Amino acid sequence: MRFSLQDVKKQVHRRGGELYVGLHFLRPDELHAEIEKLVAYHENLLRQPKRQFSQDEARACVGDYRLADCLIATLSAWYTWRQCDWTEVTGLLPADPLLRAAEITSPTRLRLALFNYVNEQYHGFLDGEQRTQALQAFCDPFQLSLPDLEYLLVMDSDEEALLLRDSSQAPTSQEVATRYNQWVFEAALSNASQVHFVIDCQAFGGTRQEDLSGRQVVAAGVGAVIKRLCYLARLLGVYYDLAYQDGGTLAVATAGSQRDGRDLRLSLTLYGPQEMTGVPQQYGLRLARLCRLLLGYGLSAREVDGKRRGIRKETLSGGILAAEATVHFLQRAYCFMIDANVLALINGADSPAREEPRPVVAEASGLYDSSIEQSFAEAFRALESSQAVDGWRLEREPEPLLLEQGIFIPDFALTRARRRIYVEILGFWTPAYRERKIRKLQQLRERDDILLAIPQEARDAFSNIATSFPIVWYDGQLSATELLSTLRSHYDDFAGRLASIDIGAVRQRVRREHLLLERACYELLSCYRRSELQRASESIAGDDIGYIVGVGLYQVDWLEHLHHSFVEWLSGVRSLPLPTVLREVRERWPALAQCEEATLETLLSLWPEVRVQRSSIFEALVEHSEAGQIDGVEEEAQPALPVDRASIQGTKRPGRIRERRVVQKKQGASETTQGDLWGVP
């Protein structure tokens, strides 16, 4: 049970026309005797019901009632009120089997049973004179005593909850004072519109981190510090901004570079709920928890990271040079200075109190700033699983872009080959948020690797930068398909990729391997869409090399030999189930061992002597059809290769003319009529 800023003792003063607030923190050895009395009072009431706990008696242990209420709330880190378990209590009574037989398994069911009894026997009304007699009559069938019944009826009320200690031993006065100071600090930050930190990056020159395999590595430099700050902020869902302190600049504005000199300082601003939404305390607790991590007390960064890579016991507190917060209460804003004295008071020894809940972050959106980013990433990865993202790879939390006058932290990065595009999803939040975004984006006008996603409702607000960047306008949710379409229109480099194909080397590989499956052709020809692959294959195909959609590049003579050998084999067995044929094909012809079922079925469909007859969607039979004896109707064979070689070369080839073979039209599979499934005539 935490306390609010309204409950905390504080002093307000004005300095230079600005309001400042000073919170009452417990100094070393302050109120230790009073705290020990308060702890002893709790110890004496262990396993006792809450109705025996007197708030006034507990306050009297401290003297100052406002401070006492906060200290009583602080002791909830060690002590808690817990309801008794029904089965534990009734298990000690002889009435337990009888109650279970009557399906009375909770105080609620017991009250309902008594209510029904009074309705049946006393017509819904029981006066005081008959109460004892009626209750005893209700108890008799269950072998319950009257005092036991009265207790069981109310045992789930707050007044009957028992006081328990969650730690192995009682807290010391210093532990309680430290926890009180931490909660006072967090109560202030929960009402903050922003918290400002000045961070010395040189303090992390030798920060040790763990990679995913658990090995210790050294992450030095401003880039590592920025990425760590971004990770923690996104982990807890807090909006933030990073800049150089006092308007500093960076000599080389490239990601990952470091400023010359020894005094590079970052200005980290964490925005509270009032700045982002205008509603104080909406997510103030998350802001307080992030500050808690940065200042290095309570939950360590390693505890929050879990199995993810993270800084070991070191936190960012060693590099924080100054900090202040703007807090709000009673309709006014106050400056709260977080100086060395405050840090010393909240960084007490670790307490043996029960472990506090970890930061509440939804599993699905833990590392996303908004649901828009999360849904976009999920949609993109769904397209990626079906190979429909044109070869782009989505990366969350890319490296920061260090600009001359600030730091830009994109939401995503898209990488394909040597091309890297940074994606920023803009919200509509408050005017101050939009102004900060626009100022940073104006420094990126000259870059050609920035893509923006802007909501339709903010079209006017961002109109002055609309012509400087590729933009995806969205309404409600950002469409991954529309973003990919924008990438195609602004970053289409197919002509360059087509010109870079080593045609001779590809042809030699096809002749050597006989068949290059379509999925291998994508990588070999630097293609990302089937339409690109078909165009690229035109430059490879020739008299002895062809391309089939769904199959890939092949050597013509090899395919003809495969055709004849397969037909010869199939004529010996006449017909087989399709799965058996596919298995035999992979075993008999090693070049087809890695082919997918769809690829093999495409090959079978090219040959008129082969017929696939399906009796249902689950069963198919491959049959051999004698050429020239199928329907008695002759027609010219359709070309097996969908590539027009004359158009590929630009002029008609003077080479040999292939003889046209006349074959009979394949007999279509007989239509299967499915009977009525419902038995209706």
The answer on 506 and 486 residing in a single domain is no
Q: Note whether residue 266 is domain-resident.
A: yes
* Domain span holding position 142: 86-155
d(CA 272, CA 333): 13
Q: What tens digit of pLDDT does each residue of 217-270 get?
A: 334 456 666 777 777 777 777 878 887 776 554 433 333 334 444 467 788 888
**Residues above pLDDT 70, as percent of the chain:** 76
Q: Average model confidence (pLDDT) for the chain?
A: 78
Who wins on pLDDT, 449 or 297?
449
Closest CA to 258 of 246, 247, 266: 266
Mean pLDDT of 564-569: 92
**Secondary structure letter of residue 49 according to DSSP:** B
CATH number of the CATH domain containing 479: 3.40.1350
d(CA 665, CA 669): 12
The answer on 486 and 542 residing in a single domain is no
- Phi first, then psi, for residue 19 (nearest 5°) are -85, 135
d(CA 539, CA 535): 7
Give the pTM.
0.57
Q: Note whether residue 165 is domain-resident.
A: no
pLDDT of amino acid 580: 92
Confidence of residue 632 (pLDDT cuts 50, 70, 90): very low
The answer on 323 and 199 residing in a single domain is yes
Q: What tens digit of pLDDT does each residue of 154-193 get?
A: 999 999 999 999 988 999 999 999 999 988 988 888 888 8
Beta strands across the sheet bearing 620-624? 575-577, 620-624, 610-614
The answer on 295 and 245 residing in a single domain is yes
The answer on 529 and 478 residing in a single domain is no
Q: What tens digit of pLDDT does each residue of 664-676 get?
A: 444 444 444 444 4
Helix H or strand E segment including 280: none
Dihedral angle at the C-alpha atoms of 447, 448, 450, 456, nearest 10 degrees?
110
For residue 213, pLDDT beyond 50: no
d(CA 521, CA 22): 69
* Burial of residue 505 (number of CB atoms within 10 Å: 0-12, 13-18, 19+): exposed
Q: Note whether residue 608 is domain-resident.
A: yes
Return the number of other C-beta atoms located less than 10 Å from residue 30's C-beta. Answer: 13
Return the number of other C-beta atoms located less than 10 Å from residue 585's C-beta. Answer: 20
Q: How many domains would you assign to the chain? A: 4
Mean pLDDT of 649-657: 37
Closest CA to 610 of 596, 630, 592: 630
Please tell me whether residue 336 adopts helix, strand or coil conformation.
strand
The answer on 285 and 306 residing in a single domain is yes
Question: Residue with structure tokens 């519109």?
Answer: 193
d(CA 430, CA 6): 27
Q: Note whether residue 63 is domain-resident.
A: no
pLDDT of amino acid 452: 94
d(CA 436, CA 427): 12
d(CA 222, CA 482): 35
Who wins on pLDDT, 562 or 435?
562
d(CA 190, CA 281): 6
Each residue of 104-115: b (16+ CB within 10 Å) or e?
beebeebeebbe
Q: Note whether residue 79 is domain-resident.
A: no
Confidence of residue 574 (pLDDT cuts 50, 70, 90): confident
Q: Note whether residue 673 is domain-resident.
A: no
Residues near 383 by Cβ (< 8 Å), separated by ≥ 6? 389, 480, 481, 484
Task: Please compute, for residue 565, the number of CA atoms within 13 A of its CA located in the half-sphere on the CB side.
Answer: 10
